[in-house]
Structure 1
Amino acid sequence: MSAADESTSPRPAAEAIVGRQRILLWLLGSLLKVWARTLRIEIADADRAALGRRDIPISLVIWHNRLFMGAECVRRYRGGKPFHGLISASKDGAWLVGFFQMMGIRAIRGSSSWGAREAANAMIEASRQGNDLGITPDGPRGPCYEFKPGGLIIARRAHTPLLLVGMEFDGPVKQLRSWDRFIIPCPFSRMVLRCRQVLPSELPKDRQAAIDELTRQMTELNGTRH
């Protein structure tokens, strides 16, 4: 989730996948869904309860390079509950939109480059209607593991708990040559899933101090291997 500052440039149309690309996306998405379901997820009972809680909407916070398993975690532990994620309006974002739609995740298009305020308002409204939010605090272009203020701003305005998610992989993974070194774990490998709920009211009022604390906790939850 990028900072919610309004762009002054004209708002272009969000890129979309069309024609043969949709067939390719369906084939690729189907393969990735089967791939993700082969992975063994280890999660403590308390973390499972926090992740599966459905009586209030949450803001699920996950580093951008762990989105591959983020979609699978939503399917396994929060499946059936409306879930909205902010995704870049770029062509790369369009592929991600298509994949997430296959996983039952609804996309709100926007970025810090343009449409940020409109996208932030749409996320807040979705939360107020009882829907979950997905936030990648270092997206859409990084730097990797740099917690930007947008996710915190949205959570504070929507009055939703932040559910920080950590994923540590036990076994070989494929890391792409992207800005975030996107992680794809090998089939049938093991992943340790951790989560921690943080209320915006529990964080320091100073924005940078709050971001520093969230960064510290995300680093702790995700380990140091990747």
Structure 2
Amino acid sequence: MPDDHPTVRAAFQGLSPAEIGTILTGTTTARLAAGEPLFLQGDPADRFFLLKEGWLKVTQVTADGQKLIVRIVHPGEFFGFAPALQRDLYPGTCEAIVDSEALVWPRRRWQAVLGAAPSVTLSIVQAIGRKLDEAHDRLRELSTEEAARRVARLVLRLRAKAGEDALETDEGIELPYPLTRQDIADMSGNTLHTVSRIMAAWESQGVLGRGRRKVVIADARALQDIAGDED
């Protein structure tokens, strides 16, 4: 196999060597230090990607200058879907939260990758669908839900997506990558002041653990109650 990284093996599990060879033809690897961008909003959309390790965040700056974090990319996820959406430019900036590594295809390989195996096409379509679902959820929450509930729902979604990568600590379940309160504000559509007030209160109440640039869920049941989740 041309790339024997475990995340790549898992992404293409069940495919024949010939199918994998076709899919990986022309790929390179991008290695990023924490805080380093992979691409910038408005750059030519000349590549698409699979995250091999690490975590990335995708941000957008709106017409009025507001910065939003629209997605956290986890290992094993395809991203950089501009070719699928017939975009010539990336609509957002993608940068590493921690040291990260991504598999890179040139845009000209898009059709060949999609045609190589139905399972790959399905994975990419599902990833696009999840991205759209998250956008719809966010729009609904911004228009109908108060600040604390939006923050609680966001933290629970991040915990669910982290899966087995989430860390068990003495204080609770810790997300496996650093997030500032500004990051939480950018993702939940709140101001930094509002998020700081909410999270400080939750830390005092034992809902969250205390930690600089860390999100630790100390009482998941209480957080679910705030979010309005039944399970």
TM-score (norm 2): 0.24
Larger RCO, structure (CA 8 Å, separation 6 or more)? 1
